[in-house]
Structure 1
Amino acid sequence: MLATLLIAAPAAAQTAYEAMAPLEPGTGVCPSGLCQPEGLQTFFTGLAMTEAGRRTRPVHVLQIGDSHTAGDRITGKLRVELQQRFGRAGRGVLPPGVPYDGYAPFHVAVGSAGWVTEIAPLQPPAGTASPRVGLSGARSTGAGDAVMGFELEPGSEATGVGVCGRARGPGPGLAIEFRGTIQALDFNGGGPEAEVCRSMAFGGATNDVRLRPLGDGVVIDSVRLDGAGPGVVLSNLGRVGATLRDLAARDEGTVSAELEAWRPDLIVLAFGTNEGFDDAFEPAAYEALLRGQVARLRTLAPGVSIMILGAPDGQRSGVAGGCSADGVRAPPPSLALVRDVQGRVAADMGVAFWDWHGRMGGDCSADRLALRAEPYMRGDRVHFSSAGSDWIGGVLAGDLLGAYDAWKATGNTGSGGAE
């Protein structure tokens, strides 16, 4: 069992969403929370084709961001809501193994033994050398009897696996263990450092997948767990403390290979909190960086829909005359500057923008949510509690589905043949 690999707590115990007394979301600056919904054309078309039975390939949502994404609580709720309506099409992309202590994604338990995992440094200055990594921000190198395992909860079983990385030596490179069998996966590219993304179908569903290196020096950058389509798959790749600079530092060749293999329909950029707590934040530099990363993703994933999640409210303690109930907490001034840049860039570049700050209640809402009888924010006034994550993830899902239904009501039902 994966318990021998020092896995996180079983996923099934993490994903039970309980009904709560409804809390009405705030209004904010965008109608129904979402500005530029026309920027979601590719995503909406995929959903419509799925509903019409004309698409077998999963609709893939890829969210990249900071700790709000890494925790998978908000994305976990969004995943559940989308899959309940359109179908479960797999767990999606994951980092290679266990990237940090306490890693506990929803819908899957992960274990690793014998793999050496490297994490890219946070917010690297320009020109700083860092490990060659893809969008997960991590890589794992295996040798000998190393094993990496994934145990999926009922309803999220895998019917195939995709792996990105490189073998760095002769031979197949990887062994995939599933349904009581072991099969070799060719993991070699045009050279020992060439990034490859390979996949294998299982011929049936399994809840237990394991990866073993065949030879020393095998590198895994990311793992994708496929399900039996059609439906939606939602991948969350987040890092505690991450900023948009971390995304910009990801290796271009690795990211290009990953996006070509993953074929996302919607990329969600969920950065901004850590930039907002940076007293040295420079709006002009951030705007240039954000524009550059949107353009980069459009080049590497042609036709993809992109949505920016505006930075949520957060509180810094030790502030005289703050807006919190105790008067000693307030949002850092840079948070509003971050949201202003995000909103303007999204509008100018035709990118969807979700007003997270407004939907959670606006300025100082982090304090109000933390003081509820059932707290929706943790004591740090930055991170959501489990109940709050369930709530705000549901608000995001409702806003997305509301925009999709409005798009369909105008006669848009997807075009083209089956996919």
Structure 2
Amino acid sequence: MRKSTLSCLTALFLLLPQLSQAAGLAQVVDYGDPHIHRVWRQMAALERGESKDVLRIMQFGDSHTGGDYFTHAFRDRMQQRFGNAGIGWITPGYVKNQRSAQVLMKMAGNWKTRIARANPENFPVGGVANLPDSGAYMEIQPKFPVNGPLRVSVWSRRSSDVTSGGWRIVMPDGEQRELAAPLSQDWQVSYVYGAGNEQNSFFLRADETPAELGGIVIDALAPGVTVDALGVVGAMQRVILRWQPEALRDQLRWRKPDLLILSYGTNEAFDVKPDFEAYYNDLQTSVRNLRAAAPQAAILLIGAPNSARKTGPGEQVGCRYKIPAALRNVQTIQKQIAIEEKLLYWDWEKAMGGACSIQRYAAANPPLAGQDLIHFTEDGYERSGADFYESFIQLYQRGRKSR
């Protein structure tokens, strides 16, 4: 890291405690993203009912994303205002301590789950892969009515040199479809069209010599918005660098996201041996890799939310409990990268109310945060997701008027 960069980081670090005391709505700040005005035009056309397009938003993150409470609060409001284009991209199977706000996943038979936070292997976008034994199947039960024409896309690959079979999918209307088998050990997509039928389930079944599953995407053939929540509990931002470069390129070029949201930093804040120069470099590399893979997409970076620890090392900032020792540096680097790489940025801690806010959230009635002083309650995530939506919409309204 250059000395000038370190000087900027130091200056920002000194300012953060003062900035975090400001209450009220934290603005989404545009530091010069070259593609955000395209997003504003898409939203305006959808809002006027003049577009048949889909605004695709993908959020990558840690447990705050993996729980899909924060993201669903944002998704629900976006889809109510601009149209519902379907469930979108979901994690390929149930992962312990994670959930989807949109579907319930049930898995029968034997499945081998791989997660990128622990195993730097051949991972798809999102960092989760599932390999079933023959005869295993997955039920995907929507939590909300799913009606009308749909496209279901499945990303998979051969798990070895042995030829794998395809997948069979039973649509909610009862129709059965066959998916093409992957041709290699690279991640490939196959898709089918069908129809939804209220809240009936999808069933995905493995044939003989099953392929490894790396992504499921359920899109309505209708204009509107999708918000894909691809989080991994315990993940740090560097998990993105473990996704296979070819998969990142192929899957994002296929999905054509209009907005990418990165929401990491909590686990970095609790890192017992932080390397801030490595973190800066990894975050910068991830952003640039995403830019290359999705050159049409705007990128929004969410700063790490406030957190605290009841025991162990930390920084005393006038609260009952200390904040994690690395939190301030992590937030500072995130903001610096947003400035240098010309991203959008939202200060989650500022939206919460500042340095001691997670402790106030935990003491609220009803509680807005858990007693671990890291994770939020469902009400807390709903509040934060709503705050993020309001901040995003305010910038949209200003951007729309300026065009």
TM-score, with normalisation over the residues of structure 1? 0.84
Look up the equivalent residue of 1:133 and give its one-letter code: F
Aligned to 2:187: 195
1:57 maps to which residue? 53
Between the aligned partners of 2:272 and 2:207, the Cα distance in structure 1 is: 48
Which residue number in structure 2 is paired with residue 138 of structure 1? 128
The whole-number CA distance in structure 2 between the counterparts of 1:119 and 1:233 is 26
2:268 paired with 1:278: no
Q: For 1:330, what is the secondary structure of its paired residue?
A: coil
Check the 8 A contact 1:324/1:367 in 2, yes or no. Answer: no
Give the secondary structure class of the aligned counterpart of 1:268.
Answer: strand
Q: Distance in 2 between matches of 1:195 and 1:332?
A: 38
Q: 2:179 pairs with 171, 181, 185, which one?
A: 185
Question: Hey, what's the Cα distance between the residues in 2 that align with 1:105 and 1:365?
Answer: 27
Contact 1:99 1:119 (C-alpha < 8 Å) held by counterparts: no
CA contact (8 A) 2:315 2:324 kept: no
Distance in 2 separating the partners of 1:160 and 1:206: 16
Q: Within 2, Cα distance between the matches of 1:82 and 1:304?
A: 18
Matched, 1:118 2:113: yes
CA deviation digits over 1:41-79, x for unaligned, max 9? 333232123224443232111110000000111111011
Q: CA deviation at 1:277?
A: 1.0
Structural mapping, 1:306-385, within 5 Å? 306-318=299-311, 322=316, 327=320, 329-385=321-377
Tell me which residue corresponds to 2:9.
none
Please tell me whether residue 264 in structure 1 is matched to residue 254 in structure 2: no
- Which of the numbers 73, 77, 83 marks the counterpart of 1:81? 77
The aligned amino acid for 2:250 is A
Superimposed CA distance per residue, residues 106-137 of structure 1 (whole angstroms, 9 cap, x where no aligned partner): 12111111252322352x6xxxx634211222
Superposed CA deviations along residues 245-286 of structure 1, whole A, max 9, x for unmatched, are: 111111112222221222211111000011111132122211
Residue from 147, 151, 154 that aligns with 1:160:
151
Distance 1:306 1:156 in 2: 29
Aligned residue pairs, count: 376
| Structure 2 SS opposite 1:316 | coil
| Distance 1:350-1:212 versus aligned 2 partners, 3 A rule | same
> Partner of 1:46 in structure 2?
42
What residue in structure 2 maps to residue 13 of structure 1? none
1:83 and 1:183 map into 2 onto residues whose CA distance is: 28
Q: Secondary structure at the match of 1:363?
A: coil
Provide the C-alpha distance between the structure 2 equivalents of 1:162 and 1:252, rounded to a whole number of angstroms.
20
Q: Distance in 2 between matches of 1:243 and 1:323?
A: 24
2:401 to 397, 409, 414: 409
Which of 209, 222, 225 is matched with 1:229 structurally? 222
Q: Which whole-Å CA distance do the structure 2 matches of 1:205 and 1:212 have between them?
A: 19
Structure 1 residue 209 displacement after superposition:
1.3
Q: CA RMSD in A?
A: 2.4
Structure 1 CA distance for aligned equivalents of residues 165 and 49 of structure 2: 37
Deviates more, 1:129-138 or 1:26-35: 26-35
Matched with 1:294 is 287
CA distance in 2, matches of 1:292, 1:66: 18
TM-fit CA distance, 1:30: 11
CA contact (8 A) 2:146 2:198 kept: no
Deviates more, 1:147-156 or 1:221-230: 147-156
SS in 2 for 1:145: coil
Taking the aligned partners of 1:215 and 1:140, their CA distance within structure 2 comes to 15
1:92 aligns with 2:88: yes
> How far has the Cα of 1:34 moved from its partner?
1.3
- Moved runs in structure 1, 4+ residues, more than 6 A? none
3-state SS, counterpart of residue 391 of structure 1: helix
Aligned mate of 1:218, from 207, 211, 234: 211
> Of 105, 117, 127, which residue of structure 1 is paired with 2:100?
105
Once residues 228 and 317 of structure 1 are traced to their aligned partners in structure 2, the CA distance between those partners, rounded to angstroms, is 49
Report the secondary structure of 1:215's partner residue: coil
- Fraction of identical pairs, as percent: 25
Deviation at 1:290?
Answer: 0.9
Equivalent pair of 1:88/1:155 in contact (CA under 8 Å): no
8 Å CA contact 1:27–1:359 kept in 2: the answer is no
Indicate the SS of the match to 2:94: coil
Aligned to 2:168: 175
Q: 1: distance between equivalents of 2:156 and 2:315?
A: 52
Give the Cα–Cα distance (whole angstroms) in 2 for the partners of residues 358 and 151 of structure 1. Answer: 37
In 2, are the aligned partners of 1:167 and 1:173 still within 8 Å (CA)?
no
Shift of 1:322: 4.5
Corresponding residue for 1:9?
none
Distance between the aligned counterparts of 2:273 and 2:296, measured in 1?
Answer: 35
Q: Distance in 1 between matches of 2:357 and 2:277?
A: 27
Of the structure 1 ranges 63-72 and 160-169, higher mean CA displacement relative to structure 2 is found in 160-169
